[in-house]
A and B are shown apart, each in its own frame.
Chain A
C-alpha cells in the first residue's frame, strides 16, 4: 500500500519539476496560451462586462467558457497576468497527474498500476504536446477535472450514495465552466463507457465468474441502475446548460456562420506529413507500438464499452486520412471540430492500460513470459527500448518548438505599447503583421483596438468570417484568402478607423506601400510602424451588443462558485484518499483489480509482429524522405534543390549545386546574388516548381523550370531554361550569366528637396492646436469616367497635385444607379501613385471589390492567387458616380528618379529599359499604363509590377503587352460630382489652374494603334525597400 503513494508522489514531483520549470520557456510561444492571457486580462479589467472592443471591432468573451481565464485574471491581481498564467499552468499539471492517477485506479483497481499510470501520464507525449506546444490550458483543466469526476460518478452509480452524486456533479460543473467541448464529448466518450463498466461490474456481482455475465444479466442490472443513470444524466445536462448559459445564449444569437478554417488535424496525414507528425505521431508516440495490447485489453468484457469508445476516438483522430471521420461526424461538425482532440482523448484513455502494461512488463506476467520465451537480457533490452522511446518522444516534442519554431521570435512589446499610448495613437485602430500569437499579448497590454483578433470563432466582420483565415496578422500563410482579406483592410482603412500597422515581417511592406501606406518609424524593438493618412479617429461611442444583466452576473459568478463548491465537497475526500491521512473505506472499484498472471504468448508474438510493421513504416518513410531530398541524384533533383535553397536564402547550399568547373567561387556567387533585389528575390515565397527536361544525355541535360511565386502583390510565374552537367557522378547546375554592366560614375551627387512636418509644435495633451494642422494640399481631378470593361465597372481618371507641397492622395468613388441610390464604394488600390510631387499627375483606376466568397457556398480556389479579384455584386446598373479625393501633406516616398531609357515596339510587345538615375535603390518598380482613344481621352488604366529592382545608375529591362480594349464602354464621363478635400473640383480648377494648357497632355502620349485605343502613356511608381 505504501509503495503506490510513493509512485504518485514521485509522479507529482517529477511533473512539477519537469513541466513546471519547462512551461516558463514554452508556454509563451505556444499557439493558445497568450489568447487565454488576453481573455484573462479582459476579466481582470472588467469582470462582469462581457464586451471587449479590442478585437474584431468588438466581440463578446461569452464565446469561451471563462473559468481558466477568470482564475488567471484573479491571480493577476497578485502578481500580474503572466504570474496568473503560470500559476494556473502549475495547477493544471497537478490536476492532470492526480486525475490520471484516479482514472487509472478506477480502471484497473490496482494502486500500483495506477501509480505507474500517473508516472506515465507525466511523460505522455500527448500531454507534453497539449501543454508545451498547443498551450491549451482550459482543455487540460477540463479533461483533468473530468478524470477526477469519473471515480465519483462510478461510485454514485454503483452505491447510490448522494455524497457521490454531489461530488461527481460538482466536478462536472467545474469541467463545464473550464472547457465546453470536453464535457459534451466527455459524456459520450468517457461517461457512457463508464456507465457500461459500472453495469458490468454490478452484473459481475450477481454471478460467480465474468463469463456468466450474459446480456440478460447485464440488462437486468441496467434496469436496476436505470434511475441513478438517468438522475446523473439529467443533472449533468442541467449543469452543462446552466453553468455556461450565457455561452449557449451567445452561440444561439451569433451562430458560427463562417467559412471553416483549415486545420491540420483534418488533413490526410499520409499526404501532409507535417500534420501527420503533429496530430498523429507525436500524441500517440510509443503507444503506437502497443496498440495490439490496448485493443486486447479494451475488448475484454469489463472494458468493452471503453474499447468501443477508444476505437472510435482513435478512428476520429485520423482526420482526413480516411473518409470515415467525415462520414461519421457529418460535413459541418467535421469542419468545425479540431480532430486532434479525439486523439488526445484516446491517448489519455489508454493511459491506465499503458500503466498496466508497464507494470506487467516491469514486475508482472509479461516480464516472466518474455523472459521465458526470449531470455532475461532481451526483456531488459525491450524495456530499455520502450523507456528510451518514451523519453525520446518527450524530448522530441519538447524541442519541436525550438527546432521548428511555430512562432516568430519573442517581440518586446513595451515600445509598441508606449507608441500606442503616446500622442493619442490609440484613438485609431492598429493592426499587427507577422506577430504570430504574440498579438494577443500585445492586445492584453494596451487599451488600443485592432481589427484583427486571435479567437476566430468570435469574428464578426464579413471581410473576415467569409474567408478561411484565422488572423490577418499571418495572412501570408493563408494564400489567396489571407492576402485578399488583408488587401481589403489596407485599401479601405477609413472604414475600420485603421491607421497604424506594426510590421514584423517585411513580406507585407510592398503591399502596404502600393496601397498608399507610409513608413512612420522603426521602433526600438525593430518593428516598423506604417501609417495611413486621412483616416478619421474612432468615434467616442462604439456599438456593442449588450446582454441581459442576469447573464452578466451568471457569467461573472458561477464559474468560480463551481470551483468553491467542488473544493468544499471534494477536498476532504480527496486528501483522505490520496494522502491517506486516516483510514477510509476502500472504494468499491479497487476490488475489481485482477491478478496478472499467464500472459498470452500469442499476444507477445503478435505484438512483436505489429511493432515490426510500425518500425518498417517508420524506416520506409525516412528512406523516401531521403531519396526525395537527395539533391544531386538526378538532374531534376538538383534543379529543385537549387531553387529551394534560393527560396530559403541558403546561398552556400545553392552554390554547392553549381558546376564546380564554372569557376565561380562562393565569394563571387554571394556578391552576384546579394546585389539582386526586387519582388522576386526579396519578397517572394516559392509556391511550386515544375521541371521539364528538354533533353538529357548521360553527361548533360537541359530543362525548362517553371516556378510559381507568392508575393504580397500578385502571383508570379517564371519560366527559365537551365542547363545541368554531370561531374564525377553528381549533377550540377550551370550558373546563369550575370550582368557585367558597370555604372558610369563611381561617386556622384544628387540634389533634391526634402520635407519635414513638425506635427505638433506646441506641447499639449489636448487636440493638436489648429495652427499646427497643415492645410490639405489642393488636388485637381482632370478627368473621371465610369467604364464597363468585360462586365466589371471601374472608375478611371487622372488627378494632379496643383499645390506647392507634395501630397498623399486618397481617392474614393461611389457608384449610383438612375435613382441616385448608392450601390458601392471603394478606394483606389494600386492603380495610382499615392504620393504626388507639386504639379505631378497620376492616372487612377478604382475597382469595386466585393467581399470575396460572401456566399460561403462558393468553392475556395485551391491555390494561392493574391491578385484574385472578387467583383462586387451590384443591386442595379450603375449610371453615375462621385469621386472624393483627399490630399494630405506627404514627406516620404517621393522618389521620382526612374527614367524610361528606351522603348521598342516588337511583335505587339513593348520592350523597354528603365534607368535609375538617382541615389535610392528601387526595389519594386511599378508601371502604370494609361490608355487613350483617338480623341486623347483616357479610357483605361493598367499596371505591371516588375520582378526585379532597378539599382542605382543601372538599367532594368521590361516587357509589356498592351491590352485588348475592344468592347470597353465609357458609361459616364463627368467631373460634376468630383470633390477634392470636400470642395467641388470645378472651383479648384478655376482658382488654382485658371489657364490650363490642355495641349501638354496630348503631347505626352505615345501613339500606338492597338485594339480599342490609339495612345498610351507610361508612368512609374517606385517602391524603395530600404530608403537611405
Chain B
C-alpha cells in the first residue's frame, strides 16, 4: 500500500514537471557532398553521396520539388552515406532542391536539375474548347497541346508541334513550338456552319481527333404566311402560320428549335400569341379560327434578333342569325338550329350563353352550354322560375338575341 502511495506521488510529480527547454548541445560533425553530377534526365535514379563524420544521430535529406517535399534516410557504409531519391523525385523534371539536416539544422544544401527525357514518341495531351462557336470571323476555339515525356514531364520549350484543322474541303496545318510547356492555337470560326475537326502531332505521336461545332449566328428578318381552309369565323378550323427559312447573315439556317413568337393583334387591340419552333429553319404555329367576325394582324419575332413582315387576316361571320324557339308554356328555350355559312349546322361545341332577367331587369341566372348538332337547349325549371314574365338574352357567335317569356302556372 505504501509503495503504491509513493509511486502515485512520483507519477504526479513527474506529470507536473515541465519539459526542459534546453537540450544537450548536439555534437556537430563534418559533412561533404561527394557526388558531383548536378544534371540528370528524368527517370534515371539519382542518389547523392555524402561524407559524414562526427554526428551522434543520423542526418536526413529533405527534398523539395514542384510537387512537394520528402524527408529521406541515408544508407551508411563507412563514412559514406548514400541518399537515394524516391521515384517521384527523380522522375519529375525541373529543379529539385535538397537540404541535409541534422536535428532540424541545415548542414548543407544544393540543387539538382532534372531535364525531361525527350523520347521519340512523347505523350500528347490535347484540349480543345469551347465545344461550339458562333459563325462569323470573331469567335474561336483554342487548341492546347502539351507534349510530355513518359513521366508526364512537359517537354522543353521550343519543341515543335504540328496542329491541323479541317473544315469542309480545307485542311490547314500549322507548326507551333511549345512555350512554357504548351503549344496553342486559336481556331477561328467560319462563316458557314459545320464542324471543325482538329488534331495535333509532336514528333512521332499523333493526338486524337477533337471537334468544335460552328453554330449559325442570329437570324435575319424573315417572311411569314398563313394558310386556312376558308375565311369564315366558325371557331372550328385551324389557321396555320408558317415562316420561310430563317437564316443568319451568312445564309446559314438557324439552329433547330429556335423559338418564333407569332403575335396576333385582333380588332379590339388584344395581343394574342402562338409559338412555333424551327425545323430546318422553318417554324409553324397554329391557332383556331375565331368564332366571330375578326381582323387579325400577325407579326412573328425571334425576340431581339429578327422580325417578320406583318400579314393581315380577316374572318367573315359564319353564322347569320340565332333562331330561338320556345316550347309551349315557355319552359324550354331551344336555340337553333344554328346554321353556318353554307346553311349547314354548325360543328358541335359553339358556346351559347343565356342570361335570365326579371321583367324589372334584375339578373336572376346565367347559364352556359355548348351546341350539339347545331342546337342548344336551356330549361327554365318550375322549381326556380315562378309564373311571370322574364327577359331572356341568348349570346352566341357574336350575336345577341333578347326575347320575353311568359311562364304559365299549368306548364
A interface, CB within 8 angstroms of B: 695, 697, 699-702, 723, 725, 737, 739-742, 744-745, 748, 751-753, 755, 770-771, 774-775, 800, 804-806, 837-841, 894, 896-905, 915, 917, 953, 955, 991-993, 996-998, 1000-1001, 1003-1007, 1017-1018
Contact = CB atoms under 8 A, between A and B. Distances in A.
Contact of A838 (B134, B258, B269, B299): B258
Contacts of A800: 303-304
Given A744-B238, A771-B210, A902-B266, A1004 B301 contact: yes
Contact of B270 (A774, A905, A998): A905
Nearest to B382: A700
A101 to B, nearest CB: 52
12 contacts: A695-B384, A702-B383, A702-B384, A723-B381, A742-B347, A804-B258, A839-B305, A900-B273, A917-B288, A992-B134, A996-B304, A1001-B304
A902 B371 contact: no
Contacts of A997: 304-307
Nearest to B210: A771
A617 to B, nearest CB: 42
A899 B259 contact: no
B255 interface: yes
Contact of A1001 (B139, B303, B369): B303
B258 A837 contact: yes
A929 to B, nearest CB: 12
Contacts of A1000: 301, 303-304, 307
B154 interface: no
Interface in B374-390: 381-384
B299 A1003 contact: yes
B303 A841 contact: yes
Interface stretch (B164-172, B180-188, B279-287, B332-340): B279-287
A801 to B, nearest CB: 8
A-B residue pairs, 9 tightest by C-beta: A741-B349, A700-B383, A899-B274, A804-B255, A917-B286, A903-B270, A740-B370, A753-B256, A753-B257
A959 to B, nearest CB: 13
Given A700-B383, A917-B285, A742 B349 contact: yes
A1022 to B, nearest CB: 11
B124 interface: no
B156 interface: no
B348 interface: yes
Nearest to A837: B259
B303 A1004 contact: yes
Interface in B275-323: 275-279, 284-288, 290, 299, 301-307
B206 interface: no
Given A702-B383, A755-B257, A839 B302 contact: yes
Contacts, number: 163
B192 interface: no
Interface centre among B273, B278, B305, B348 (most CB of A within 10 A): B273
A77 B390 CA distance: 85
B216 interface: yes
B305 A899 contact: no
Contacts of B179: none
A894 B256 CA distance: 13
B287 A993 contact: no
A804 B383 CA distance: 64
A725 B271 CA distance: 45
A840 B369 CA distance: 38
B101 interface: no
Contacts of B215: 804
Contact of A775 (B132, B273, B278, B382): B132
B208 to A, nearest CB: 9
Contacts of B216: 804
Nearest to A1017: B271
A751 B258 contact: no
Contacts of B255: 804-805, 838
B237 interface: yes
A1004 B349 contact: no
B329 interface: no
Contacts of B381: 700, 723
A741 B286 CA distance: 18
B285 A899 contact: yes
A991 B136 CA distance: 11
A910 to B, nearest CB: 9
B271 A904 contact: no
B218 interface: yes
Contacts of A898: 275
